[in-house]
Amino acid sequence: MSRYPYYLPLLATLAVATVASAQGPAQGPENAPPTAETSNPSTSERVGASDPGLSLEVQARLYQELPNSNLSVLVRYGVATLNGNVRTEADRQRAESIALGVPGVSGVDNKLSVAPPVTVAAIDDASVTTSRENEDIEESVTQRLRSDAALGSREIRVVADGLTNTVTLSGTVSTEEEKERAGRIAVSAFPVGQVRNQLEVQQRL
């Protein structure tokens, strides 16, 4: 006869509880392991990787077709936003058509403004003034070169650029001394700017 008859039921109960604890909680719907769909929620977002290139392409085409306009372009997600001023309403509509014609552009946000006539006239006047100033500078330097005994018969071209305040000499002379002399004459005729001496020396036979 066993010495511990009253402890056997208690020991059996403890053994069952221990096994259940080791197995963990029951696998119900709420405790099911996450699937690939639930554990990896989609966070992807449409990214316009080529948008900077599109912006440059649209900008280049607008400059070619509407060179006298003041325009800026920003393309995001295929939509080109146009800012700046144009001369007429027709130019405004044309700018939108040009932008839409660039492959990759799906829409246009046209924020262009039509410049007042006064603004357009001021731009034109400034352009005319600059052109006249360039012509005056070129004439002054050319006359000085032609009046020189050694350089008067040389093929020397003078080009002035008021935006960079520069005079450029191009053409041919016979010696290095003539090239240097032409540069000094140009400097004396245009003392407030810079002289780029691009004359080539070609010895005459």
Whether residue 179 lies inside any domain: the answer is: yes
Last residue of a domain, one of 61, 81, 115: 115
CATH code (residue 167): 3.30.1340.30
Give the pLDDT confidence score for residue 132 in this predicted structure.
81
Residue 3 lies in a domain: no
Q: Is residue 6 part of a domain?
A: no
Pair 84, 113: CB distance under 8 Å: yes
Residues 84, 138 within the same domain: no
Among 91, 115, 139, the domain boundary falls at 115
Reported as a single tens digit per residue, the pLDDT across 89-134 is 899 999 999 999 999 999 999 999 887 655 555 555 656 666 788 8
Instruction: Look up residue 106 and give its two tokens.
Output: 């799906």
The domain tally of the chain equals 2
Same domain, 111 and 132: no
Q: 5 vs 9, 13, 14, 16, 80, CA distance in Å?
A: 9, 15, 16, 19, 90
The verdict on residue 40 lying in a domain is: no
Evaluate whether residue 173 is within a structural domain.
Answer: yes
Q: Which of 40-54, 130-144, 157-171, 187-201 has the lowest mean pLDDT?
A: 40-54
Rg (CA), the chain: 41
- Report the C-alpha dihedral over residues 177, 180, 184, 189, rounded to 10 degrees: 100
For residues 79 and 137, state if they share a domain.
no
Residue type, 95: A
188 domain residue, yes or no: yes
- Evaluate whether residue 23 is within a structural domain: no
**Domain shared by 131 and 196, yes or no:** yes
How far is residue 188's CA from residue 179's CA, in Å, rounded to a whole number? 15
Mark whether 102 and 137 lie in a shared domain. no
pLDDT, one tens digit per residue, over 23-82 is: 445 444 455 554 444 444 443 344 444 588 888 889 888 988 887 777 889 999 899 999
Domain limit, last residue, from 72, 95, 115: 115
- Looking at residue 109, its pLDDT comes to 94
Task: Answer positive or negative: Cα dihedral of 162, 168, 171, 172.
Answer: positive
Residue 157 in this model has a pLDDT that exceeds 70? yes
pTM over 0.85: no
Segments forming the whole domain that contains residue 60:
51-115
Q: How many CA atoms lie within 13 A of 48 on its CB side?
A: 15
